[in-house]
Structure 1
Amino acid sequence: MESKKPLGEAGEDDFVGMAMKFSTPDGDLLEYRVIGDYAYVRADAESLGKAMGTPMPPADELPEEAGAFKKVLEGEWVKFDYKALEKAGQEELGEEAGASAEPSLDPKTQKKLLEALREVVARDVEFTTAGGEDGTEHISATAPFRTLITDLFGEIRPLSKELPPGVELPTAADLKDAPDSKVTADFTLKNGELTEVYVDLAKLTENAEVKKFGLGLKLSGGTKPTAPAGATELKPEDLMGAFAGAVAPGDEEFTEGEFPEDGEFPVEGTE
């Protein structure tokens, strides 16, 4: 991620580039970049479909109206103007084009939420530190999971009227079945800068089939996000055309009021 300002001070308009990649030991599944007004996507559609349990159709089976969307299924880079796509989506839903963005938190509410978080962390979390070689420092933060999230939402609940419309906070009753085992997050710092965070997610369930399931986040200098060369532009109408051809030829069509026998649908995955 690239920002005009330090990430802790940056607002939405300060981010000028972002790159994200999802991979497995067998290769890359999905790569996504945002540079300026354009988003860029490349995917291994076949492997991604298998991983999600939803097989992707071959590119040559899509209708001509799908246009550049076929490039997605062929594993090539495509790009689209995400603002134009958002506008098209609003028009498709019958919303007024150019509608204002969803309301966000005002600075005063953000400050109150941050103070609430600090109070809960100071009260519920135990910290231990250990020094290492070459300016390395290790910090462990341990807390009972249910207690931590219950107290956190308890502090936030008085601010619920200041949150954007539609935000619903879980009640204490909703959280009562959350595991209350102690969870530890390990932080590694190098010369005062955070370089790695590690959490054992197996601690969050009382019936884990594995003894340890680690989630690690490593931070480094990174590389400058750049636009990939040769990306094919994907228009909003290409996406609409691809979805319009999602039902393969030969599938039965049902008019309103008609249902197949035994409640079974011929299109796989339909509910």
Structure 2
Amino acid sequence: MEQISAGQKLDQAFGKLGKEKTISFQLDLDTDAQRLKALDASSNPEPGEEIPDEVADLLSDATISVTAQSKKPIDESGEKDFVGMAMKVRAHGGDIVEYRVVGDYTYIRSDAKLLGKAMGAPVPSAEDLPPEAGGLKKALDGEWVKINTKEMAETAAEPGTEPVPEPTLDARTQKQLLEALRKTVAREVDFETADGEDGAERITATAPFRTLVGELFGEIRPLAKKLPPGMELPTDGDFKEVPDAEVTADFTLKNGELSEVYVDLVELAENARVKKLGLVVRMTEGQSLRAPAAATELDIEEMLGGFGAAMMGTEDFGEEVGLPEEGFPVDAV
């Protein structure tokens, strides 16, 4: 009865999420830089390919916030139904980078100093650019800038070719994949329930990782023809090197709604020095996505040329990238 009850409660909690039109959550790793370095060392990287200290510090400290907004409930939405996406990376005491996709534009802002610290290399500052590069200066000063999303895709495409649309899943196939996941979980996962803090309920799910993943892809294979091009499914042989250690996930429910998921990955690390390694997902209140006011519009080719000039030095910047005397266009949103 406990198995049925816990499974039903989780199913209902995820069902409630699927009925929302906006969903927001935060992701972060529960570990530290030293453990990440130890985990990397156990993979025997080639000399010079070890994980840099800055990257280990960033991964251990970063919190990623994500929001998706649709015209329909999430569980009924296909790719074309989503009207807004947003992501923000926070680390080292501040927001490193944030972007939003709303309407025809992608909006971006960043903290150049924090970004340079995270990358382990200095990022060009606004002072490195000439006066006419007004839009880029705003970007490097942490103000909102915007780029036409369609033009950005066209610039990234090969010259003379149409940009290739991103692979998408229709709503029907998404539901079939979700059903495959539910069947696998019901068959392979063991559940236990316990009381959490502040009246919350904790449901612990445990399963052997290789078996769980192998069974899941076994359920998905009949749907392979419905998947977008390029989404190739792994074969049974691909799972031979995957650890079959038991992985535990703790789900916290408050008033029947999912509030947090903690996945303990220590056993998968297979490293005695890595005693703490978890993935945390925290649900947050869904925020309506809006275009930032007074964002400065950037010309993509001039932007790329401007950053290149800043990295190489600003001498003859205007001649190299062909900047107009009036500078970058500015458009208030």
Query: What's the TM-score bracket when you normalise by the shorter of the two chains?
Result: 0.7 to 0.9
1:35 aligns with 2:102: yes
Indicate if the aligned counterparts of 1:67 and 1:238 stay in contact, CA closer than 8 A.
no
In the other structure, the counterpart of 1:194 is: 258
For each residue in 1:77-114, what CA deviation from the matched residue of structure 2 results, as whole angstroms up to 9, or x when unmatched?
21122122213323xx12534x5624533455434433
Alpha-carbon distance in structure 2 between the residues aligned to 1:74 and 1:158:
51
Q: Which runs of 5+ in 1 are unaligned?
A: 251-271
Alpha-carbon distance in structure 1 between the residues aligned to 2:309 and 2:221:
46
In the other structure, the counterpart of 2:248 is: 184
TM-score (norm 2): 0.64
1:20 to 87, 102, 109: 87
In the other structure, the counterpart of 1:75 is: 142
Query: Superposition RMSD on alpha carbons, in Å?
Result: 2.9
1:231 to 276, 292, 295: 295
SS of aligned partner of 1:70: helix
Aligned-pair CA distance for 1:115: 3.1
Aligned-pair CA distance for 1:209: 3.1
Q: Which runs of 5+ in 2 are unaligned?
A: 1-66, 315-333
Q: State percent identity of aligned pairs.
A: 59
Q: Which amino acid aligns with 1:61?
A: D
Q: Which amino acid aligns with 1:41?
A: I
SS of aligned partner of 2:276: coil
Count of residue correspondences: 247
For each residue in 1:158-205, what CA deviation from the matched residue of structure 2 results, as whole angstroms up to 9, or x when unmatched?
433332222222223222222222111111112221111111233321
**Aligned pair in 2 of structure 1 residues 244, 30: CA closer, same or farther (>3 Å)?**
closer
Alpha-carbon distance in structure 2 between the residues aligned to 1:195 and 1:88:
40
In the other structure, the counterpart of 2:215 is: 151
Q: Which amino acid aligns with 1:14?
A: D
The higher relative CO (CA closer than 8 Å, separation ≥ 6) is in 2
In the other structure, the counterpart of 2:17 is: none
Alpha-carbon distance in structure 2 between the residues aligned to 1:26 and 1:197:
24
Aligned-pair CA distance for 1:27: 1.5
Alpha-carbon distance in structure 2 between the residues aligned to 1:243 and 1:154:
47
**Aligned pair in 2 of structure 1 residues 40, 208: CA closer, same or farther (>3 Å)?**
farther
TM-score (norm 1): 0.77
Structure with higher helix content = 2
